[in-house]
């Protein structure tokens, strides 16, 4: 998606450890008119698919998922991250191991909001190692819902998450795939 790539080149900041900061338009301050264009692009890429629900994970996926959900005219559910070991109530839950943050956490979704009749599109702002997405896919499986696909705004193509999902046959649409970034020159190469 050209306007997204242009915006990443213009406003993205490359930080130590291959971190791409896009705080000024994606995951701190949010450019909602860009979000709307992103929503329309996902709509084009999943044209003809029946989708009943958008599923994302807190925190930074929520903003973009809401705008996408409005374009698809379906509800959006976000998985909650929790440290609690004993989860009471009727929930789907699985563990996510974050290499980035060096910790394991549980994610939960209430059974009330996901079930066998749902056709689910996963949405998130970033994909790196993809552990959060794997957790969401596990929850979709546990619920008996159908996984239609996953839409990612920025994929770090040099980390394994995206290609692992494609290898599993998941319909993954990433709007910008960063193949490499150079902290010194600021150069970003897209796939
Ligand atoms: P992981 O398995 O290493 O944890 O990788 P994953 O792809 O699940 O991404 C982990 C977290 O790091 C995600 O946020 C993701 O958005 C964020 N992330 C990874 N690489 C970058 C990057 O280069 N730039 C930015 N801005 N974010 C990146 P999260 O843990 O779900 O937290 P939250 O921010 O959504 O609350
Ligand atoms: Na994030
Ligand atoms: Na996120």
Query: Which atom of ligand 1 lies nearest, measured to the CA of 23?
Result: 26
pLDDT computed for residue 88 by the predictor: 62
Q: Is the pLDDT of residue 181 over 70?
A: yes
CATH number, domain containing residue 103: 3.40.50.2020
Q: Is residue 138 within 8 Å of residue 114, measured between CB atoms?
A: no
Domain count, the chain: 1
**Rounded to two decimals, what is the model's pTM?**
0.95
Q: Which residues line ligand 1 (CB under 6 A)?
A: 19-22, 27, 57, 59-61, 98-101, 125-132, 156, 161
Residue 33 in any domain: the answer is: no
pLDDT digits (tens, 9 = 90+) for 34-87: 999 999 999 999 999 999 999 999 999 999 999 999 999 999 999 999 866 556
Does 187 map to a domain?
Answer: no
What is the bridge-based pairing of β-strands 103-110 and 76-82?
A: antiparallel
Other C-beta atoms lying within 10 Å of the C-beta of residue 147: 18
């Amino acid at each position: 998606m050209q306007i997204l790539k242009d915006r990443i080149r213009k406003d993205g900041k490359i930080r130590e450890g291959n971190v791409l900061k896009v705080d000024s338009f994606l995951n701190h301050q949010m450019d909602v008119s860009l979000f709307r264009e992103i929503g329309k692009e996902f709509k084009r890429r999943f044209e003809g698919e029946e989708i009943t629900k958008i599923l994302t994970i807190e925190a930074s996926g929520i903003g973009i998922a809401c705008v996408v959900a409005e374009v698809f005219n379906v509800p959006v559910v976000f998985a909650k991250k929790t440290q609690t070991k004993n989860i009471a109530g009727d929930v789907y839950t699985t563990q996510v191991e974050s290499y980035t943050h060096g910790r394991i956490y549980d994610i939960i979704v209430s059974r009330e909001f996901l079930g066998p009749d749902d056709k689910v599109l996963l949405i998130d702002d970033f994909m790196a190692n993809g552990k959060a997405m794997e957790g969401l896919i596990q929850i979709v499986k546990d619920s008996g819902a159908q996984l239609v696909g996953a839409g990612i705004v920025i994929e770090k193509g040099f980390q394994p998450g995206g290609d692992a999902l494609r290898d599993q046959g998941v319909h993954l649409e990433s709007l910008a795939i960063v193949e490499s970034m150079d902290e010194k020159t600021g150069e970003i190469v897209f796939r």
